[in-house]
Structure 1
Amino acid sequence: MFTNRSLVQRITSAAAAGAGALVLLTACGGGGDAPMSGHAAPATGGAAATPTGTQPGASFNDADVMFAQMMIPHHRQAVEMAELAESRAKDPEVKELAAKIKAAQDPEIATMRGWLEEWGRPAPTGTEGMADMGHGMPGMMSPEDMGMLGKASGAAFDKRFTQMMIAHHKGAIEMARTEQQQGADPEAKELARTIESSQQAEVEQMQKILDRL
């Protein structure tokens, strides 16, 4: 027969042992952050939600990848248009703006290609190959548009270039805003902010050029 004191001691010891086992089970089981057997641990009510399309442990999501894959050929086409202006434009401000566009967008193309390589995602290889990837790009010029620009010169080139680049920039601004809303990578979102602000200022400048041409 146990005394009351002995019984209390046994109950206390059993409770302590149970608690210890629970702590050990938690440490070895689903209580840690690391997923088990290749599956992510279930989210708890207080856990922050993972951005859509973000891989566990990654700083980027599907919106970041699409932004880079779309903006690279979009920028490349703007550079092609700017290069035509070097020999075909007549207006000094158009020539100067075209050089500024090329100087800004060439390095951005290299930056975005670097991201895609780091993320293990394919980089586009041409301005017209995006349809194969299922992406649509607002503001992108057709081959016919580019052909007509390439045949123009002087004042006619200046006007056509300005009209086309305004539409092109507006498309880039739209994509940049989407990245800021849906992207996860801080550097990609920062580049999107830069693209939006710089190209919006250039749209306003080109509209003034177009008004006087």
Structure 2
Amino acid sequence: MPGMKHSQGSNTSAPATPGDAFNDADIAFAQQMIPHHQQAIEMAKLADGRAADPEIKDLATAIEKAQDPEIKTMTLWLKSWGKPQPSASSSMGDMPGMNHSSGDSSGMPGMMSDKDMAALTASRGKDFDKKFAQLMIGHHQGAVTMAKNEQRHGNNADAKKLADAVITAQTAEIEKMNTILDRL
């Protein structure tokens, strides 16, 4: 039951111990942030061979390095909590509550549409750099919104700590991308 302590056995590799209290907000945070981070990594990988700006290249590398371990952590939480993993589908269209349209907060905030991803994939050089920064700003803003929701409604201390780290890191990256956009 949400808000009650759950025990699924011991898993010492999981950052959150299975007995830690968690609630529906913690579960939703992990289940939604995993595919959200996966899409950010998918976007970041596009920079290789497409990006011209060194700061965009560095930022893309930093996004991959930061978000992949967070995905692993949240996956372990869900396993330890006995909750289902989100779909591994890159389109994520089969997940309930998922929304690919930018700016529409009725689903998962900040997710890129298939059209946005196709446009980013097709772009090169300075055009890629601008699209990447613009799309990633929206994507990061969505992650910050989700993390703030976790801070307000979550119960698990480790999930709330990760939400705080997401807010701090992605807010700084948004500021950096805005600076990059101003000079591009």
Q: How does 1:140-155 map to 2 (within 5 A)?
A: 140-155=111-126
Per residue, is there more helix in 1 or in 2? Answer: 1
Partner in structure 2 of residue 134 of structure 1: 97
Partner in structure 2 of residue 116 of structure 1: 78
Partner in structure 2 of residue 201 of structure 1: 172
Alignment partner for residue 129 of structure 2, among 142, 158, 180? 158
User: SS of the counterpart of 1:138?
Assistant: coil
C-alpha separation in 1, matches of 2:59 and 2:5: 43
Number of residue pairs the alignment of both structures matches: 162
C-alpha separation in 2, matches of 1:140 and 1:176: 14
Q: CA RMSD in A?
A: 1.5
* 1:64–1:72 CA distance, 2 compared to 1 (3 A): same
* 1:118–1:134 CA distance, 2 compared to 1 (3 A): same
C-alpha separation in 1, matches of 2:127 and 2:92: 29
- Larger CA Rg, structure 1 vs 2: 1
Partner in structure 1 of residue 17 of structure 2: none
* 1:127–1:66 CA distance, 2 compared to 1 (3 A): farther
Partner in structure 1 of residue 47 of structure 2: 85
Q: Which runs of 5+ in 2 are unaligned?
A: 7-19, 99-106
C-alpha separation in 2, matches of 1:159 and 1:89: 9
User: SS of the counterpart of 1:133?
Assistant: coil
Identical aligned residues as a percent: 52
CA deviations 1:12-49 (Å, max 9, x no partner) are xxxxxxxxxxxxxxxxxxxxxxxxxxxxxxxxxxxxxx
C-alpha separation in 2, matches of 1:71 and 1:190: 14
Would you say the 8 A contact 1:70–1:130 is kept in 2?
Answer: no
TM-score between the two structures when normalised by the length of structure 2 = 0.84
C-alpha separation in 1, matches of 2:52 and 2:34: 28
User: SS of the counterpart of 1:88?
Assistant: coil
Would you say the 8 A contact 2:29–2:150 is kept in 1?
Answer: yes
Q: How does 1:39-118 map to 2 (within 5 A)?
A: 53-56=2-5, 59-118=21-80
Aligned-partner residue type, residue 59 of structure 1: A
Shift of 1:87: 1.4
Shift of 1:131: 5.2
Would you say the 8 A contact 1:54–1:61 is kept in 2?
Answer: yes
Would you say the 8 A contact 1:169–1:199 is kept in 2?
Answer: yes
Q: Does 1:175 align with 2:146?
A: yes
Shift of 1:110: 0.5
Alignment partner for residue 161 of structure 2, among 190, 199, 210? 190
Q: Which runs of 5+ in 1 are unaligned?
A: 1-51
C-alpha separation in 2, matches of 1:122 and 1:174: 23
TM-score between the two structures when normalised by the length of structure 1 = 0.73
Partner in structure 1 of residue 102 of structure 2: none
